[in-house]
């Protein structure tokens, strides 16, 4: 969901068995954390290297992963749980139509790689025939709409979510989209790597057309056509940082109004072809993009567009089509783009697929087995403590007026806290899952998902919904619902029983900072523009806005200054919301931790003071190492900074960190008081 501020982008996933050693018999927090700490490194020079360097050195990135760290170790535990749920379901012989049958049959078909390879793209044959049969522009647009319905984002983005200015209704959103490369920058950047990637992308396009049956001459010509059509769309697309401004990306208009922007598209008919009926207004994200769509529709031949649609269809389903399509798709996106030599094993990839299509059905079984009421209660209490800490912080801010503070507190008090799992689960009863064709299950799954969102239109907004499953190692803040959503799995600390985790780690790694991170998203550069009802509405005084922006500019400068990989700098503007949230999260966790008996005792464990344990716990949350190619992709596409900078960036602004480790002028971790960022 485009407007949801995520805590982490999980990125590439797992392979080998969990590489954490078993937990010690005692609840000795120092011992637990010492599995990660590299005592030969100096926390004052490179805190990331010190706090988690030992583990990272002992656990290099496996050949079939693009990155490796704490999220992967947690995911490994989750995979083991989900595979046993799936295998049990597959053997259960459950009644047709039940979730158990759907999970079991999905898993069976997914793991049947022989049938999948033999079948190839046969389940898509009808769709390719429809593309081939297009005779005119109306036929072209009808087919694009139908492809959107089965998950193919050709020509533009189309989604249904809450109206940013009226959170009580759902709206159809039309946005920039339709590209094969990760985003617009890939079509224009002039550095050597970008040039190589464009060359390789054309090779990839050509090979995919060959696999679709074109001879080599036609395949090469088709690759050139796709590249040039996508480049036109990319040229009218906004950059990552420019997509952060919710006002600039909101243009509500009548359906007829969009047709004025793009006279070649009768949008009412288009939406109806995509099964969307009874809609009078839509929200257009980027009007200039649709003006380009109009130009391309007029200037390009029908043959060009048909070529582009064939590509978009196979690109969407290549990894699920198996065989040579899957291999070639991995070769470009896995190896060339992200630097990963090998594919991950099929069973893990298929668990990801199952998660995508039946995630809530899995989640229902998952929480019954793996999320106790006791754990839920612990993290609900922690959530309340973090809220209390934020309330105090807001009250004490010396730069915010009383008027804005009152509104901020009103918004904070209105935040919905969703912890663990949803009250109600998605109903998959109309999703037809069969034991025969894996790709068939995927195509029907995408259509089912479209129906799921289309059915919401013209109905009251369901504010109990979750956009993540409980087994997801992630969390989010959704501004339209003014809610934080904390899935059960975000609280997992691998290799140690929940009951043995001490407070320093609970408040830093296992919840405190995460909860704080998500709450402060409601008040970051983007979230602060929404009010307590989730509507885009300015509630700040002009002076407070000015002061917030001045302080936020400090964090933009700080992160602009960091090198992500090679000579590539972090994008401070695009990542500012996440960096503000990280800074807020670590502060709120700290405030709450200081109230615990463990902190007050001042007792060292394993040679570490409570403060030191807290900050190492923070680093543990972002323990991750990435292939340089993967970092390069993320710098261009991800609103989060690379993990090592998410550790050292925020702590270098905190006096409490300086106290914990005796950081002084001249140390690499030292930032002069005048450039330390203070927002909350
Ligand atoms: Zn976030």
Residue burial 575-603, b: 16+ Cβ < 10 Å; e: rest: bbbbbbbbbbbbbbbbbbbeebebbeeee
Q: Is the pLDDT of residue 649 over 90?
A: yes
CA–CA gap between residue 631 and residue 476 (Å, rounded): 22
| Distance of CA 476 from the midpoint of ligand 1 (Å) | 7
Of all residues in the chain, the percent with pLDDT exceeding 70 is: 96
Average pLDDT over residues 439-465: 97
Tell me, rounded to whole angstroms, the distance of Cα 324 from its chain centroid.
28
| Distance of CA 37 from the midpoint of ligand 1 (Å) | 26
Q: Is the pLDDT of residue 261 over 90?
A: yes
| Distance of CA 524 from the midpoint of ligand 1 (Å) | 10
| Distance of CA 7 from the midpoint of ligand 1 (Å) | 4
| Distance of CA 611 from the midpoint of ligand 1 (Å) | 24
CA–CA gap between residue 125 and residue 218 (Å, rounded): 20
pLDDT value of residue 30? 58
Q: What angle do CA 124, 205, 442 make, to 5 degrees?
A: 30
| Distance of CA 416 from the midpoint of ligand 1 (Å) | 17
| Distance of CA 6 from the midpoint of ligand 1 (Å) | 4
Residue of 304, 302, 332, 147 lying closest to 229 (CA atoms)? 304
Instruction: Tell which phi-psi region holds residue 518, choosing left (phi > 0), alpha (psi between -120 and 50) or beta.
Output: alpha
| Distance of CA 552 from the midpoint of ligand 1 (Å) | 15
Average pLDDT, the chain: 94
| Distance of CA 514 from the midpoint of ligand 1 (Å) | 9
Q: Is the pLDDT of residue 2 over 70?
A: no
Residues 368-398 have pLDDT tens digits of 999 999 889 989 999 999 999 999 999 999 9
Q: What pTM did the predictor assign? A: 0.93
| Distance of CA 578 from the midpoint of ligand 1 (Å) | 5
CA–CA gap between residue 665 and residue 658 (Å, rounded): 10
| Distance of CA 639 from the midpoint of ligand 1 (Å) | 9
| Distance of CA 464 from the midpoint of ligand 1 (Å) | 21
| Distance of CA 72 from the midpoint of ligand 1 (Å) | 18
pLDDT value of residue 3? 40
| Distance of CA 415 from the midpoint of ligand 1 (Å) | 16
pLDDT value of residue 401? 98
| Distance of CA 630 from the midpoint of ligand 1 (Å) | 19
pLDDT value of residue 21? 38
Q: Is the pLDDT of residue 547 over 50?
A: yes
| Distance of CA 518 from the midpoint of ligand 1 (Å) | 6
| Distance of CA 645 from the midpoint of ligand 1 (Å) | 14
């Amino acid at each position: 969901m485009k407007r949801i501020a995520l805590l982490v982008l999980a990125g590439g996933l797992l392979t080998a068995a969990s590489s954490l050693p078993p937990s010690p018999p005692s609840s000795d927090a120092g011992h637990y954390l010492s599995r990660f700490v590299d005592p030969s490194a100096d926390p004052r020079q490179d805190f990331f290297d010190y706090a988690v360097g030992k583990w990272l050195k002992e656990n290099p990135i496996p050949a079939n992963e693009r990155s490796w760290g704490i999220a992967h170790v947690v995911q490994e535990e989750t995979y083991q749980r989900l595979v046993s749920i799936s295998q049990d379901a597959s053997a259960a012989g459950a009644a047709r139509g039940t979730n158990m049958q759907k999970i079991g049959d999905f898993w069976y078909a997914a793991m049947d790689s022989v049938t999948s390879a033999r079948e190839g793209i046969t389940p898509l044959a009808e769709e390719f025939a429809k593309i081939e049969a297009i005779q005119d522009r109306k036929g072209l647009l009808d087919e694009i709409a139908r492809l959107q319905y089965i998950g193919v984002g050709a020509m533009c983005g189309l989604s249904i979510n809450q109206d940013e200015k009226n959170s009580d209704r759902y709206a159809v959103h039309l946005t920039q989209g339709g590209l094969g490369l990760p985003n617009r920058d890939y079509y224009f950047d002039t550095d050597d790597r970008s040039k190589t990637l464009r060359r390789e992308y054309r090779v990839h396009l050509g090979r995919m057309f060959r696999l679709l049956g074109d001879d080599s001459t036609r395949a090469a010509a088709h690759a050139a056509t796709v590249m040039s059509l996508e480049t036109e769309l990319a040229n009218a697309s906004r950059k990552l940082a420019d997509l952060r401004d919710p006002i600039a990306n909101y243009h509500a208009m009548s359906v007829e109004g969009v047709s004025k922007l793009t006279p070649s598209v009768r949008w009412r008919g288009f939406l109806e072809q995509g099964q969307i009926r009874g809609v009078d207004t839509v929200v257009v994200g980027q009007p200039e993009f649709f003006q380009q769509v109009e130009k391309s529709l007029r200037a390009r031949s029908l043959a060009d567009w048909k070529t582009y649609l064939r590509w978009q269809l196979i690109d969407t389903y290549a990894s699920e089509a198996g065989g040579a399509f899957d291999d070639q798709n991995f070769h470009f996106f896995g190896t060339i783009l992200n630097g990963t030599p090998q594919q991950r094993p099929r069973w893990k990839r298929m668990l990801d697929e199952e998660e995508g299509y039946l995630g809530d059905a899995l989640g229902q079984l998952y929480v019954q087995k793996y999320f106790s009421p006791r754990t839920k209660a612990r993290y609900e209490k922690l959530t309340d403590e973090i809220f209390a800490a934020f309330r105090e912080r807001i009250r004490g801010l010396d730069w915010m007026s009383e008027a804005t503070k009152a509104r901020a507190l009103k918004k904070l008090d209105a935040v919905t806290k969703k912890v663990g799992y949803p009250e109600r689960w998605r109903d998959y009863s109309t999703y037809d899952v069969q034991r025969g064709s894996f790709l068939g299950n995927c195509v029907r799954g995408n259509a089912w998902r479209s129906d799921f969102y289309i059915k919401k239109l013209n109905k009251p907004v369901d504010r109990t919904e979750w956009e993540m499953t409980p087994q997801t190692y992630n969390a989010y803040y959704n501004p339209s619902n003014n809610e934080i959503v904390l899935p059960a799995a975000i609280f997992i600390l691998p290799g140690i029983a929940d009951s043995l985790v001490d407070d320093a780690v609970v408040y830093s790694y296992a919840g405190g900072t995460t909860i704080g991170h998500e709450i402060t998203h409601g008040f970051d550069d983007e979230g602060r523009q929404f009010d307590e009802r989730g509507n885009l509405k300015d509630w700040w005084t002009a002076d407070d806005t000015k002061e917030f922006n001045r302080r936020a500019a400090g964090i933009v400068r700080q992160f602009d200054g960091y090198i992500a990989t090679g000579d590539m700098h972090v994008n401070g503007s695009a990542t500012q919301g996440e960096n503000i949230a990280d800074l807020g999260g670590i502060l709120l966790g700290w405030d709450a931790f200081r109230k615990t008996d463990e902190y007050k005792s001042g007792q060292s464990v394993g040679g570490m003071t409570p403060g030191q344990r807290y900050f190492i716990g923070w680093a543990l949350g972002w323990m991750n190492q990435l292939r340089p190619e993967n970092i390069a992709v993320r710098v261009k596409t991800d609103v989060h900074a690379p993990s090592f900078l998410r550790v050292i960036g925020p702590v270098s602004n905190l006096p409490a960190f300086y106290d914990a480790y005796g950081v002084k002028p001249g140390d690499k971790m030292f930032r002069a008081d005048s450039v330390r960022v203070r927002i909350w």
